[in-house]
Amino acid sequence: MNNDKINIGYYLPLLQEYCRQTMSLYDNHYHQGPFIPYTMSKYKDAPLKIMYVGRDTLSWEPVETLKKAYQENKLEDYLIANTKCVDVEKMLEWKNNTGSFWNFVDKLHLLIRTGQMVTDINSVSKQQRDILEEIGYGNLHSIELIETLRYRFGEPEMPVTQEYLTICKAAKPFESLKSMIEAYHPDYVFVLSWIEKNDFFDGTDFEWQENMYRDRDKKYRAVYLSKKYKTKVVWTLHPNAMWRKGLTKDETQDLMEFLANTYRMLESKYK
C-alpha cells in the first residue's frame, strides 16, 4: 500500500515487532500507540527535505486503534492513523504548548525555504501552506515521557511501571536517526530539544562538529555530520524551553535567523 505521508514498507515490520513485544502490556499501563515518524503530503517531492524532531508528544493515537489494527492484521491502518494526529491545519490552529513547537517549526521552515520571516503564522498564503506540506516529523521519544504524562493527567506522583519501561524500550526503532534516514532520506534534520540523547545516533557514523558548537548569546546550536550519509543534523532548543533561557520574542526570531543561516553555511560548505 502506497501512502504519501509514511513509508509503510519500512515501518510495518518494525510495528509488527513492537506489537509482538507490547500488546500484552498495555492494559492500565499506557493508553496510546507509539509515535512513528512521518511527513506532510508534499515532502516526497520537496526540493529540500527537512525533518523536524521534537522531544515527545502531548497525547497521541489511542491504543484502541492499534489493538484493532493488530487483531485484524491490518497494522497499516495504525500507520495511516498515526499520520493524522498532526497535519498542517492543526499546526496552524494550536495555541498551547504543542502550538509553540509548531509555530517555531513553521516559521523556521518558511524562512529556510523562502528567505522571508513570517511574523504571523495565522496569515500565511496558500503558497506558504503548500511549503509547510513539505515538513517531515520525528520525535526523540516515541512514547510520552513520564513527566509529560504526569503533567497531562495532573498526577505528579504517577508511578513508573515495568510495563511502561518495556513499552518505551520496544519503541526505540521509531526514535533513531538511522531509521528516519532510511525511511525518508532527509537533507537536514533539525532536532529541537537541548538535551543529550546519544542513542539517537546509534548505527550511524555522525560526529559532533566542535567548531560549530554554540551556546552563548542566546544562540544554541550543535551540528553533526556523517561521511556515509548526506543528511546534516542541527540540534537546538525546544521552543518551550526558550522562555526558560530568557529569550524574548525578538531573540527567538534571532535564533530562527541563526539556524537558517546555519543551513545556508552548511549548504555553501558541503555542497
- The reply to whether 228 falls in a domain is yes
Q: What is the CA radius of gyration of the chain?
A: 18
182 Cβ partners below 8 Å, 6+ apart? 10
- The reply to whether 2 falls in a domain is no
- The reply to whether 39 falls in a domain is yes
- What are 98-131's pLDDT values in tens digits? 558 999 999 999 999 999 999 888 889 999 999 9
- What are 131-175's pLDDT values in tens digits? 999 999 999 999 999 888 888 888 888 888 999 999 999 999 999
What is the domain range of residue 13?
8-270
pLDDT at 240: 87
- The reply to whether 3 falls in a domain is no
Question: With 90 as the cut, is the pLDDT of residue 2 above it?
Answer: no
Q: Do the Cβ atoms of 79 and 8 come closer than 8 Å?
A: yes
pLDDT at 122: 84
pLDDT at 109: 98
* Share above pLDDT 70 across residues of the chain, in percent, rounded to a whole number: 97
Q: Whole-prediction pTM value?
A: 0.95
- What are 182-209's pLDDT values in tens digits? 999 999 999 999 988 989 999 999 999 9
pLDDT at 94: 80
Question: With 60 as the cut, is the pLDDT of residue 96 above it?
Answer: no
- What integer best gives the mean pLDDT of the chain? 93
- What are 209-236's pLDDT values in tens digits? 999 999 999 999 999 999 999 999 999 9
- Considering its fold, how many domains does the chain have in total? 1
- The reply to whether 1 falls in a domain is no
